[in-house]
Chains A and B, each alone.
Chain A
């Protein structure tokens, strides 16, 4: 059987006699009782809808204003002078690595996400070799 056969282009379905004449009348009768839905521009909406929308916006704004965003870690040190920080560091004998370990460059959530991202990245061995060559990194240490 070839789909190009012209006979196949006519589906084997029929309709009752006079169906399409009646169909037109039926459709027009049903639509005569239904009004087309018009697109209402915002400034033509009823006053009560406008008032409600305004109240919702006001409440949302108030909520955000008073709750605000949580302060970033860096903000805790905003009021501390540089001199005080230097005195603290000198008196507490912290090593460079201890300072680096405790300093977060990004939000905790983001660092978790980045770890998950890295898990999904498959790095081929030859790519690693290329990276080593490019950055002269050996397996034991990373020079900063």
Chain B
């Protein structure tokens, strides 16, 4: 199967800057299993929320639902140099290679869940880190971070002022924040997708408009 062209950035594409209308849309988080739910609580299992990487509070990786569809969540890069290429940042105006069929796979067993951008953007619990003055609150940002293999990649990140939490916090402060963030993400994950359609993303948001 050829790689879905609608996922690739084009030369005339622009990065989507923040606008309030984004709050009406959803970010999709993919998972390597269709069995996402804890049978006792009905909530998404933590093992599918975070990936254990040190960067996850800086780049919680998601996709903007719309042009990116539920089926696209099945796609996975084959490990190697080309994966590094396709997951690296895309620069506006640049062209990208089209992935070969040997460079990606389509998982048979996969799952996904959604987060309303409005909920993330209005993350209501800035964490107070009294030690780190003057930026004592860790806030949540939703950012469009397109990569060469996926224009619809969005990052959710938590920062202390302009500082990366990885740098600004001690090990235990980071654990406190990570636990709180995971609790927030566990509570807010939407697992029942049947009533949520792929919304239309206005082209004016991401393409250069002719004069």
- To the question of whether A and B form a pair in one complex, the answer is no
